[in-house]
Amino acid sequence: MGERRVAYSEVYPKPTVSIIKEGVINVNLGSSVANSALIVHKIDYKFDESEHKIYLVGFQAINKRIRNNFEVKLNGFSKNELENYSYYWEDPDGTTTLLEKTAQ
């Protein structure tokens, strides 16, 4: 089994986002409850500047180190700009879920 995307419904605890500093956010999430052999190991992003939305996409695979915190670099964004964005988890089918922003 190779790498595959992670659906919001299969991780527990659910993903949250905190702004760490200029150009960096932290994503905190649990492991897959659908398949305990798969470990979330990478988070990518895409953004919609006009809507002030950032979409996060998680990837999981076997034989990866267990992690619950991911620093995602969003170069070119000030901390203030990052605070003004909404963050969404994007499922493999394109469904999006608004994520909670927490204090760092």
Tokens 């993903």 belong to 15
Q: What is the DSSP letter of 14?
A: P
Structural domain span for residue 9: 4-101
Indicate the range of 28-42, 47-61, 62-76 predicted with least confidence. 28-42
Q: What angle do CA 5, 7, 13 make, to 5 degrees?
A: 120
Q: What was the pLDDT predicted at 1?
A: 61
d(CA 64, CA 41): 6
Whether the pLDDT of residue 21 is over 70: the answer is yes
**How many domains does the chain divide into?**
1
Q: Facing residues of 95 across strands?
A: none
Whether the pLDDT of residue 104 is over 80: the answer is no
Q: What was the pLDDT predicted at 25?
A: 97
Between 31 and 45, the more confident residue is: 45
Average pLDDT of the chain is 93
Tokens 């089994």 belong to 1
Within a 13 Å sphere around the CA of 18, how many CA atoms are in the beta-carbon half? 9
d(CA 10, CA 46): 21
pTM to 2 decimals? 0.92
